[in-house]
Amino acid sequence: MQISGAVAVVTGAAAGLGQATAQMLSQRGARVAAVDLAAPPGTPSTTWLPLAANISSAADVDSAFDATVRSFGRVDIVVHCAGIAGGFRLIGKDGPVDPDRFRAVIDVNLLGTFHVLRAAAWQMSMNQRPNGGESGVIVTTASIAAYEGQQGQLAYAASKAGVIGMTLPAARELAKYGIRCATIAPGAFETTLTTDLPDALQQQLTSSVAYPPRLGKPAEFAELACAIITNEMLNGEVIRLDAGARLSKR
Instruction: List active site positions.
Output: 156
- The answer to whether 226 and 183 have CB atoms below 8 angstroms apart is no
With the C-alpha atoms ordered 93, 98, 103, 108, is the resulting torsion angle positive or negative? Answer: negative
Q: Angle at Cα 12 formed by Cα 10 and Cα 13, nearest 5°? A: 60
- The answer to whether 52 and 110 have CB atoms below 8 angstroms apart is no
Strands 95-96 and 91-92: antiparallel
Q: At what angle do helices 112-125 and 58-72 cross, to 10 degrees?
A: 30
Q: What is the spatial distance between Cα 242 and Cα 200, in angstroms, rounded to a whole number? A: 19
Q: What is the spatial distance between Cα 83 and Cα 11, in angstroms, rounded to a whole number? A: 9
With the C-alpha atoms ordered 4, 121, 72, 221, is the resulting torsion angle positive or negative? Answer: negative
